[in-house]
């Protein structure tokens, strides 16, 4: 089947009011153009029509690439013709001849937008008759056909297609500002960042370096995870902050707060993230927390960790179990990276506290002068940018 254009469908964008919708559509179009150019997909232009974008191209790869852009619900390579019944019947019968053999079943599904001298049912009936005349021995089955031939009739053109590439949905990247994402190199943090990118947020990655309490390999895994996320963010380079935090862990252990190490460490990470957020003029922090998954992620500990921070924290995995996170990691391309064998954090106590109060945490912070320690960590940060080039 020839490809004259790719139909791009979006979801939530269509629910916006006109002014916001136009802005979201322009951003979505820009993001698709960036991806197509990056992957050397040749196209003439992208047209915007009510509820759709149309990529004018003969390269059907444009459908798969567009489907990988945040905000796109689905995409289909399609053949075009004039929005006339006889033109449609000829095109649909040609498509049917390519896909159907004797004794196979088919269905014609029609969507019509605009003003036409015929109904959607007229299209289905006339085109169905044309297919049966063209291909011997085929029959219509509207419930479970071997092949569905879809026709979308708009005011100025009609499109016929058989394939629908499922998109990732969400909102166009770049429409919701920036967030700082805590990247550990494990499964959950990169999935959490991807989910917020899917909601339109640009990512500033923050890696907390706990060496020698963690292996050097943990750092490599985190950087590779950011690289994998950058494939979803073409046109939006991801800035990475690598912040050494060994000194803070040393102080926690020296001051006899070993049972609270994990909670205090998380608290310190949040304070570092707040500092990075302010430097980047970002609007919040992303974590990979899943309620109850580890000792520091009990409801009580999580409440204590964020006490007094005064900034939004986003936990997109909070109600998900590990199986769901793993499935998403496989889908987005981070699973093989984040499941490499790396040693566990040696600072984790044998019996970590699961119910630290905010008052206890504040007192422990005061003893180690956490705010000063965080300032020192930020001053030693290594800042660079991940540019995806493949």
Give the CATH number of the domain where residue 51 resides: 3.30.2130.30
Q: Which of 122, 145, 166 is the last residue of a domain?
A: 166
Q: Is residue 183 domain-shared with residue 298, that is, in the same domain? A: yes
Q: What digits encode the pLDDT tens for the residues 318-372?
A: 999 899 999 999 999 999 888 875 567 777 767 777 777 878 878 888 888 888 8
User: In this predicted model, what pLDDT tens digit does every residue of 2-45 receive, in sequence order?
Assistant: 999 999 999 988 888 888 999 999 999 999 999 999 999 999 99
In-domain check, residue 60:
yes
Q: Tell me the pLDDT tens digit for each residue of 271-286.
A: 999 999 999 999 999 9
What is the C-alpha separation between 195 and 192, in angstroms, rounded? 5
CB atoms within 10 A of CB 343: 11
Three-class SS of the chain? CCCCEEEEEECHHHHCCHHHHHHHHHHHHHHHHHHHHHCCCCCCEEEEECCEEEEECCCCHHHHHHHCCCCEEEEEEEEEECCCHHHHHHHHHHHHHHHCCCCCEEEEEEEECCCCCCCHHHHHHHHHHHHHHHCCCCEECCCCCCEEEEEEECCCCEEEECCCEECCCCCCCCCCCEEEEECCCCHHHHHHHHHHHHCCCEEEEEEEECCCCCCHHHHHHHHHHHHHHHCCCCCCCEEEEEEECHHHHHHHHHCCCHHHHHHHHHHHHHHHHHHHHHHHCCCCEECCCCCCCCHHHCHHHHHHHCCCCCCCEECCCCCCCHHHHHHHHHHHCCHHHHCCCCCCCCCCCCCCCCCCCHHHHHHHHHHHCHHHHHHHHHHCCEEEEECCCC
Q: Are residues 69 and 184 in the same domain?
A: no
Q: Are residues 156 and 208 in the same domain?
A: no
Assess if residue 172 is contained within a domain.
no
108 bridge partner residues: 149
Same domain, yes or no: 58 and 152: yes
Same domain for 343 and 309: yes
Does residue 31 lie in a domain region? yes
Distance spanning both ends of the chain, measured CA to CA: 29
pLDDT at residue 147, rounded to an integer = 97
CA distances from 15 to 11, 25, 139, 226 (A): 8, 12, 39, 32
Residues 247 and 195 in one domain: yes
Task: Give the total number of structural domains in the chain.
Answer: 2
Residues 160 and 124 in one domain: yes
pLDDT at 348: 72
- Within this chain, do residues 89 and 20 fall inside the same structural domain, yes or no? yes
- pLDDT (tens digit, 0 to 9) for every residue of the chain, 390 residues total? 899 999 999 998 888 888 899 999 999 999 999 999 999 999 999 999 888 999 999 999 999 999 999 999 999 999 999 999 999 999 999 999 999 999 999 999 999 999 999 999 999 999 999 999 999 999 999 999 999 999 999 999 999 999 999 999 999 999 999 999 999 878 999 999 999 999 999 999 999 998 888 877 888 889 999 999 999 999 999 999 999 988 888 888 887 666 778 888 888 899 999 999 999 999 999 999 888 777 667 787 777 777 778 899 999 999 998 999 999 999 999 998 888 755 677 777 677 777 778 788 788 888 888 888 989 999 999 999 986 644
Same domain, 162 and 186: no
At which of 142, 166, 190 does a domain end?
166
From 113, 141, 166, the end of a domain falls on: 166
- What's the pTM? 0.90
Instruction: Give residue 9's pLDDT.
Output: 97
Residue 357 located in a structural domain: yes
Euclidean distance between CA atoms 382 and 82, whole angstroms: 58
- Domain CATH number, residue 317: 3.40.50.620
Does any domain span residue 320? Answer: yes
Any domain includes 21 = yes
Instruction: Please check whether residues 260 and 321 belong to one and the same domain.
Output: yes
Domain that holds residue 39: 5-166
Is-cis flag, bond preceding 212, omega within 30?
A: yes
In a domain, 173, yes or no: no
> Do 23 and 161 fall within a single domain?
yes
272 and 141 within one domain: no
The pLDDT of residue 390: 46
Q: Residue 184: how many CA atoms within 13 Å on its side-chain side?
A: 20
Cα atoms in the Cβ-side hemisphere of radius 13 Å centred on 300: 11
């Amino acid at each position: 089947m020839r490809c004259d254009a790719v139909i791009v469908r979006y979801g939530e964008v269509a629910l916006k009011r006109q002014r916001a919708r136009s802005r979201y559509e322009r951003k979505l179009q820009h993001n698709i153009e960036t991806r197509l150019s990056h992957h050397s997909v040749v196209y003439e232009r992208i047209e915007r029509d009510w509820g759709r974008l149309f990529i004018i191209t003969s390269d059907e790869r444009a459908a798969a690439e567009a489907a990988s852009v945040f905000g796109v619900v689905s995409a289909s390579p399609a053949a075009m013709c004039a929005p006339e019944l006889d033109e449609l019947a000829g095109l649909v019968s040609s498509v049917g001849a390519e896909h159907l053999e004797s004794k196979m079943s088919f269905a014609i599904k029609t969507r019509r937008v605009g003003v036409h001298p015929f109904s959607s049912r007229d299209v289905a009936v006339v085109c169905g008759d044309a297919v049966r005349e063209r291909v011997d021995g085929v029959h219509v089955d509207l419930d479970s056909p071997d092949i569905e031939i879809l026709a979308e009739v708009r005011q100025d053109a009609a499109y016929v297609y058989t394939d629908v590439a499922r998109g990732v949905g969400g909102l166009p990247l770049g429409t919701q500002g920036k967030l700082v994402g805590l990247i550990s190199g494990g499964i959950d943090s990169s999935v959490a960042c991807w989910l917020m990118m899917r909601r339109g947020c640009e990512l500033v990655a923050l890696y907390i370096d706990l060496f020698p309490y963690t292996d050097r390999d943990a750092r490599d895994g985190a950087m590779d995870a950011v690289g994998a996320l950058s494939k979803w963010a073409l046109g939006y380079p991801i800035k990475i902050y690598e912040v050494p935090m060994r000194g803070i862990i040393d102080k926690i252990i020296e001051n006899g707060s070993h049972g609270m190490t994990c909670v205090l460490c998380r608290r310190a990470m949040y304070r570092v993230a707040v500092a990075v957020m302010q430097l980047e003029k970002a609007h919040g922090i992303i974590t990979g927390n899943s309620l109850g998954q580890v000792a520091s992620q009990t409801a009580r500990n999580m409440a204590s960790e964020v006490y007094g921070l005064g900034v939004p924290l986003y936990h997109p995995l909070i109600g998900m179990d590990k199986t769901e996170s793993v499935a998403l990691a496989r889908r987005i391309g981070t699973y093989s990276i984040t499941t490499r064998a790396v040693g566990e954090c040696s600072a984790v106590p044998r019996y970590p506290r699961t119910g630290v109060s905010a008052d206890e945490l504040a007192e422990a912070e005061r003893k180690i002068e956490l705010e000063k320690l965080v300032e020192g960590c930020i001053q030693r940060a290594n800042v660079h940018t991940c540019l995806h080039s493949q």
